[in-house]
Amino acid sequence: MSRKLFGTDGIRGTANSEPMTPETALKVAMAVGECFQNGSHKHLVVIGKDTRLSGYMLEPALTAGFVTMGMDVVLVGPLPTPAIAMLTRSLRADLGVVLSASHNPYGDNGIKLFGRDGYKLSDEFEQKIETCLDKGPSRRASPAELGRVKRLDDAGGRYIEFVKQSFPKGLRLDGLRIVVDCAHGAAYRVAPTVFWELGAEVFSLGVSPDGLNINRECGALEPEQMRREVLARRADIGIALDGDADRLIIADERGIILDGDQLMALIATGLARGGRLSGGALVATVMSNLGLERFLVGHNIGLHRTAVGDRHVVEKMRALGCNLGGEQSGHIILSDYATTGDGLIAALQVLASIVETSRRASEVCRLFTPVPQLLRNVRFAEGDPLGSAAVNRAIDDGKGRLGTAGRLVIRKSGTEPVIRVMAEGEDEELVAAVVDNICGAIVGAVAVTEESGYRVARLGSAQAAE
């Protein structure tokens, strides 16, 4: 049965339009209460959010739905998505809920659900919730059984200490000058505190959220401001997070942007040297660069690819017993510490390598030269671009032209009406021609509202919008 509400990362949409309305949020919470049973005790739900204005509209609606079904609720306010996953386990809660649209603009919002183990709910359980939503609740709590609501005032402090525990014992960041861009998002308080408490001199950007400026010309998807600040401050490194702080992009001291592929290569080789790379392999998506794959082969490290989305990465990590996985866009999962992508924990692993080697970020963080890679996004208004015969002919032609020395990945975004066209190969001009041809076919097949631009990995700016 196909799902109507849940996408690749929970429920997402434009705030105050379906499905991101308080009415639907209320119904979703009641549906969860209807079908979610984890024993006979009174169930506990942890709700966190990022800094979007619409969070203040959706949070009370979710709370009312859970309370109606007899579930207690703990509100923790704006905190990173990985903090909610951690707190769900730490508080022995039955469910964790995050109100966030991650790297999307302020006008969007989303609902992400975590189980008691801190992992995102399975596709099967999300389908069960949709079924309950269609049927409506068969029961409600009696007046005496209604849930209670409280705020957890020290939630941020708990998460800060949790993150700091992932930094190697005995190491400090003393003497390091760090620029951290919090994207006016969920980590605007906790991220600068983590680095400062570990000894760094911290220069903070994106720490003045107003409900409307999250991810606006800042953060992991737009790291230019962070890059400039690194150069202006003569900092040792720049760290850019996205709106819910589950992804990370780095700038070295020269202002060179480094994506998730470079960071995963660094972390993987470090773990391997210490005999701590479980499964002897990294799990990454189809978007990760061929240069990463070749680098790993040269270091006797395996690479398992998955479909795009941190959910798919985590599922394969658990199936194969791997403790490291992630995406080119900067989602990095270190399962020795966390159950989902955590930008702060990943950043600390990078900083640990710099401190341990006493070398500059430019010497530590760029381990391979990416194969030329080009990503173009085509936003469409309606229709099914990938069902077009002309589009499929262009795709087949592109595969033939790239041959065995290149790759072509065409996919529809799971969170917005966008077709993502990615090609890579040794011949940069051929890669560009292939992408242009396919995008042209898409434009000719359906109504197009917007096209967004090129990102070429060889030039250090590939940051696939995964």
Mean pLDDT of the chain: 92
Q: Which of 115, 50, 7 is nearest to 343 (CA)?
A: 50
What is the reported pLDDT for 463? Answer: 43
* pLDDT tens-digit map of 120-173: 998 899 999 999 998 888 889 999 999 999 999 999 999 999 999 999 999 999
111: helix, coil or strand?
strand
DSSP assignment letter at 83: H
- The pLDDT assigned to 356 comes to 96
User: Does 8 score more than 90 pLDDT?
Assistant: no
Rounded Cα gap, residues 175 and 167, in angstroms? 16
What ranges do the domains of the chain cover? 11-153, 159-167+174-258, 260-343, 373-459
Place of tokens 């242009």: 436
Which residues are known catalytic residues?
102
List of residues 6+ apart from 143 with CB closer than 8 A: none
**pLDDT of 445 strictly over 90:** no
DSSP codes of every residue in 404-447: GG-EEEEEE-SSSSEEEEEEE-S-HHHHHHHHHHHHHHHHHHS-
Contact of 423 with 408, CB cutoff 8 Å: yes
215 close to 221: Cβ distance less than 8 angstroms? yes
pLDDT of residue 199: 98
Highest mean pLDDT among 33-47, 89-103, 408-422, 437-451: 89-103
Question: Across the strands, what pairs with 412?
Answer: 419
Q: Any idea how long the chain is? A: 466
Contact 276, 268 (CB under 8 A): no
pLDDT of residue 375: 92
DSSP state, residue 246:
-
The burial class, CB within 10 Å (0-12 / 13-18 / 19+), for 244 is: buried
Query: Does residue 464 carry a pLDDT above 60?
Result: no
- To the nearest whole percent, how much of the chain has pLDDT over 90? 84
260-275 confidence digits (pLDDT tens): 999 999 999 999 999 9
| Cβ-proximal residues to 372 (8 Å cutoff; 6+ apart), any chain | 424, 425, 426, 427, 428, 431, 456, 457, 458
d(CA 96, CA 111): 10
What's the CATH superfamily of 373-459? Alpha-D-phosphohexomutase, C-terminal domain (3.30.310.50)
d(CA 329, CA 320): 22
Q: How far apart are alpha carbons 180 and 240 in whole angstroms?
A: 6
pLDDT of residue 11: 95
Classify 360 in phi/psi space as left (phi over 0), alpha (psi -120 to 50) or beta. Answer: beta
Question: pLDDT digits over 393-405, tens only?
Answer: 999 999 999 998 8
CB 109 within 8 A of CB 56: no
Contacts 24+ apart (CB under 8 A), 316-320: 316/283, 317/283, 320/279, 320/281, 320/283
Would you list the DSSP string of 197-229? HTT-EEEEES----SS-TTTT-STTSTHHHHHH
Distance CA 81, CA 86 (A): 9
User: Could you read off the pLDDT of 73-120 as tens digits, one per residue?
Assistant: 999 999 999 999 999 999 999 999 999 999 999 999 999 999 999 999
Per-residue pLDDT band for 51 (boundaries 50, 70, 90) equals very high
Q: Which of 350, 305, 297 is nearest to 327 (CA)?
A: 305
* 391 vs 399: CA distance, rounded Å: 13
What is the per-residue pLDDT across 314-332, written as a single tens digit (0 to 9) for each?
Answer: 999 999 999 999 999 999 9
**Gap between the Cα atoms of 397 and 435, Å rounded:** 11
Burial 100-134 (b: 16+ CB within 10 A, else e): bbbbbebbbbbbbbbbbebbbbeeebbbbbbebbe
Q: Do domains 11-153 and 159-167+174-258 have the same CATH topology?
A: yes
Please say whether the beta carbons of 333 and 340 come within 8 A: yes
Q: Which residues contact 51 (CB under 8 A, 6 or more apart)?
A: 78, 184, 185, 186, 188, 209, 211, 214, 243
Superfamily of domain 260-343: Alpha-D-Glucose-1,6-Bisphosphate, subunit A, domain 3 (3.40.120.10)
- DSSP 8-state class, residue 358: T
Residue with token string 């409506």: 136
The CATH topology of domain 11-153 is: Alpha-D-Glucose-1,6-Bisphosphate; Chain A, domain 3 (3.40.120)
pLDDT at 2: 55
Q: What is the pLDDT of residues 341-367, one digit of tens each?
A: 999 999 999 999 999 999 999 999 999
Q: What distance in Å separates the CA atoms of residue 364 and residue 256, rounded to the nearest whole number? A: 13
What is d(CA 120, CA 102) in angstroms, rounded to the nearest whole number?
15
Cβ-Cβ contacts under 8 Å for 106 (sequence gap 6 or more): 52, 53, 54, 211, 212, 213, 214, 215, 216
CATH superfamily to which 159-167+174-258 belongs: Alpha-D-Glucose-1,6-Bisphosphate, subunit A, domain 3 (3.40.120.10)
- Rounded to two decimals, the pTM is 0.90
DSSP calls for 377-396: EEEESSS-GGG-HHHHHHHH
Q: Which two tokens stand for residue 158?
A: 């708990």
